[in-house]
Amino acid sequence: MEEITTAVTEAAEEPVSKHFIELAIEKDLAEGVYDHVTTRFPPEPNGYLHIGHAKSIILNSTMAEQYHGTFNLRFDDTNPTKEKIEFVESIKEDVAWLGADWEDRLYFASSYFEEMYEKALLLIRKGKAYVCDLTADEIREYRGTLTEPGKESPYRNRSVEENLALFEAMKNGECEDGSRVLRAKIDMASPNINMRDPIIYRVAHMTHHNTGDAWCIYPMYDFAHPIEDAIEHVTHSLCTLEFEDHRPLYDWVVRECEYENPPRQIEFAKLYLKNVVTGKRYIKRLVEDGIVDGWDDPRLVSISGLRRRGYTPEAIRMFVKLSGISKAQSTSEMPMLEYCIREDLKMKVKRQMAILDPVKLVIDNYPEGQIEWLDAPNNMENEALGSRQIPFGRELYIEREDFMEEPPKKYFRLFPGNEVRLMNAYFVRCTGFEKDEEGKISVIHCTYDPETKSGSGFTGRKVKGTIHWVAADTAKKVTVRLYENIIDEEKGMFAEDGTLNLNPNSLVTLTECYVEPELGEAQPGDRFQFVRNGFFCVDTKDSRPGEPVFNRIVSLKSSFRLPK
């Protein structure tokens, strides 16, 4: 196993130059700006995590690891409307599964509400914050535009005493939702709209999943987030590009709140996947509209969906690495993610035989009722996986596409008169076939040559085609699910009315597939390569003991090539 993993990681760990975040961290350490590195992943518990979040999780945790620092998992639960405990649990599971270890550093932003409140009081006392009674619409109007400066609120120059009293009233539940806010007093003429007296606290009579009814004022993201980072002594607050314009406010908050050694925000480009639904909003809609089977539907790129489909943390890490860390926005492609899972699994899992679209093959000169156990290597490229015994008999199933009545040129599989190798078994020559009333091939007949047994050293003659098979009497009948993108790639993501263009073939369920008997005992989460058909994983939700359901992770064909 050891060898295998190195082979896979090596591909992803060829020496590459350092990315800009590594350079920034190294500079800070060299200049003594920080004497340690602490990073965090700060999800809002309002949905399940997806492949984009994986980038942030892997980036944050590897930076901590690489610079012998610490990594925190912190729930950004300052917004009680949308947050749910269900999401907290799923996020913890996903982050741990990806291999990011927060050890005992699991935090909730809501446990800092008291300190945030104290900092708000400090700002008021310093004349840096004021209570404003403008309505939400008025605040928007006064804010100005990119080309016009904002207008100062008539409440901007309230005295410190008045502000303290009003803020106290807000906190004590004496103000209605939306009637008043606390605003930072910065600069209404700033070219950066985020600096035009942003709201830092609002009144909201809502029950919070952590603090219950203790608070009826809640801090806004731009005020809360830097404080959360500062409290945890985060050094490098890594976030996505849309927060670049918020950085001056981030710096203002930690400075005016008088934190020593404040964190530094660094932005990087989000991970996008072409023609793949990633945004929480859209995934949520697919779930709520019943288009998918929950957040962990194997067609989704939610972490739980990828896990259920059969992706490994190693493959996702490799994908994030290949996608790169940069400030330039770019789009990755699904074939690259598929390449990563193939690379990860190809040496790790057994290669077995499964027939997805069966047709009977009868070997007329093979003794009736006889079962022969043949030796089959588990993975030709990795001897360490050993071999297994598979039953062979007179009646087999083969793939329907492996026989043609009238073959085109260069078709080397079965057709009348042609001889092929049955993988790990014998040569067989097709002698005829039968059709049902509808004209569909129902049985193919052949004869075998006992001299040609696999492994016997037979060199008498060669055949051009090898096909896979399972013995009909002993095979296990199972359900196999094949997937395609949930989006219709030809039409693109969105229709004109803003809805998603869905692919009607994103899920195909095959209920009459035959697999080697031992696969009947496969356990949920087990992964295999099915010869010629792809990589498969036993579904963790719909499988029953002795009744595995196989999800196709990915087919074997690839159009993706790793750039040199």
Instruction: Name the residues that contact ligand ATP, by CB under 6 A.
Output: 42-44, 52-53, 55-56, 239-240, 270-271, 278-281
Q: Closer to ligand ATP at the Cβ: 237 or 466?
A: 237
Cα R_g (the chain), whole angstroms = 31
Closest approach of ligand ATP to the CB of residue 56, in Å: 4
Contact residues for 56 (Cβ-Cβ < 8 A; gap 6+): 41, 238, 240
The SS3 assignment for 174 reads coil
Q: Closer to ligand ATP at the Cβ: 53 or 183?
A: 53
> How many angstroms from the chain centroid is the CA of residue 312?
10
Contact residues for 545 (Cβ-Cβ < 8 A; gap 6+): none
Q: Which residues pair with 212 in a beta bridge?
A: 208
Q: Which residues pair with 132 in a beta bridge?
A: 181
Is-contact 127 180, C-beta < 8 A? no
Is-contact 379 393, C-beta < 8 A? no
Q: Which residues pair with 388 in a beta bridge?
A: 376
Handedness of CA 292, 298, 299, 303 (dihedral sign): positive
Closest approach of ligand ATP to the CB of residue 46, in Å: 7
Q: Closer to ligand ATP at the Cβ: 51 or 444?
A: 51
Closest approach of ligand ATP to the CB of residue 128, in Å: 27
Closest approach of ligand ATP to the CB of residue 37, in Å: 17
Q: Which residues pair with 372 in a beta bridge?
A: 392
Q: Closer to ligand ATP at the Cβ: 232 or 419?
A: 232
Q: Closer to ligand ATP at the Cβ: 251 or 395?
A: 251
Closest approach of ligand ATP to the CB of residue 250, in Å: 13
Closest approach of ligand ATP to the CB of residue 112, in Å: 17
Q: Closer to ligand ATP at the Cβ: 270 or 388?
A: 270
Closest approach of ligand ATP to the CB of residue 285, in Å: 12
Alpha helices by DSSP H, listed for 143-184, are: 160-171
Q: How far is CA 278 from CA 60, 157, 283, 341, 491, in A?
A: 20, 45, 7, 19, 17
Interatomic CA distance for residues 102 and 120, integer angstroms: 29
